């Protein structure tokens, strides 16, 4: 059973966070706790991109960026997974430098120091060398960089289906058992031995 913190930053890509929270809501038998921390910029971007304040509709405890009493601000809270979705380059840089100035960067620091699972869904393009080096630093520290890069071999038809190709990959990386497109098991997949 997992204890998961979902951090939502102000990068574009609120759809990814929405879909992740919706899917986590349907997977309740696979986790003990899901907590949310969301920046003010993330709320503004969500309102712009999704057109609502539906981030308030999820039945998960939510913590302020300044709440260092949150259970996942300490290794003793035993949260085993942190998903930052979308992950801004500013947040990525602060994590890479070890600057724990708010709850998101503190929680990421805790996850890394405890050798647990940190998944950063980077949502920016193109990357500059600083971004790439920050990604390298986090990877070397044990984190996973999962760019918000959709796949298309499942033949998605809607924007939600396209974005779900990223979210389902994140859920796989988090160790959750989900029903999703699997390469080689659907029409349109390359026959065995061909590419």
Give the pLDDT band of residue 1 (cuts 50, 70, 90): confident
Number of other residues whose CB lies within 10 A of the CB of residue 19: 20
Cβ contact 10:94 at 8 Å: no
Number of other residues whose CB lies within 10 A of the CB of residue 129: 7
Residue 32 has pLDDT above 60, yes or no: yes
Give the residue-averaged pLDDT of 162-187: 90
Q: Which CATH superfamily is domain 2-173 in?
A: Flavin prenyltransferase-like (3.40.50.1950)
Cβ contact 128:93 at 8 Å: no
Q: What is the 3-state secondary structure (H, E, C) of the chain?
A: CEEEEEEECCCCCHHHHHHHHHHHHHCHHHEEEEEEEECHHHHHHHHHHHCCCHHHHCCCCEECCCCCCCHHHCHHHCCCEEEEEEECHHHHHHHHHCCCCCHHHHHHHHHHHCCCEEEEEECCCCCCHHHHHHHHHHHHCCCEECCCCCCCCCCCCCHHHHHHHHHHHHHHHCCCCCCCCCCCCCCCCCCCCCC
Q: Give the percent of the chain with pLDDT over 90.
A: 91
Q: What is residue 186's predicted lDDT score, i.e. its pLDDT?
A: 55
pTM of the predicted structure, to 2 decimals: 0.93
**Mean pLDDT estimate for the chain:** 94
Q: Give the percent of the chain with pLDDT over 70.
A: 95
Residue 189 has pLDDT above 70, yes or no: no
Residue 192 has pLDDT above 50, yes or no: no
At residue 12, φ and ψ (nearest 5 deg) are: -65, 145
Q: What is residue 187's predicted lDDT score, i.e. its pLDDT?
A: 52
Lowest mean pLDDT among 5-9, 65-69, 111-115, 187-191: 187-191
Tell me the per-residue pLDDT of 74-104, one tens digit each, with 9 for 90 and over. Answer: 999 999 999 999 999 999 999 999 999 999 9
Kindly report the length of the chain: 195
């Amino acid at each position: 059973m997992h204890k998961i913190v979902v951090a939502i930053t102000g990068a574009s890509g609120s759809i990814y966070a929405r879909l992740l929270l919706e899917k986590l809501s349907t997977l309740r038998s696979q986790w003990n706790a899901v907590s949310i921390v969301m920046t003010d910029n993330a709320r503004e971007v969500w309102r712009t991109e999704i057109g609502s304040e539906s981030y308030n509709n999820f039945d998960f405890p939510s913590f302020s960026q300044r709440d260092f009493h949150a259970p996942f601000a300490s290794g003793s809270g035993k949260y085993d997974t942190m998903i930052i979705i979308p992950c801004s380059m500013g947040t990525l840089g602060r994590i890479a430098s070890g600057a724990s100035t708010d709850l998101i960067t503190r929680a990421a620091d805790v996850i890394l120091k405890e050798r647990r699972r940190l998944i950063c869904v980077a949502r920016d393009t193109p990357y500059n060398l600083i971004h790439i080096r920050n990604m390298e630093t986090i990877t070397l520290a044990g984190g996973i960089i999962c760019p918000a890069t959709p796949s298309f071999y499942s033949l998605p038809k809607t924007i939600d289906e396209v974005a779900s190709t990223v979210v389902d990959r994140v859920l796989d990386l988090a160790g959750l058992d989900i029903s999703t497109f699997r390469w080689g098991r659907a029409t349109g997949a390359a026959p065995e031995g061909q590419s």
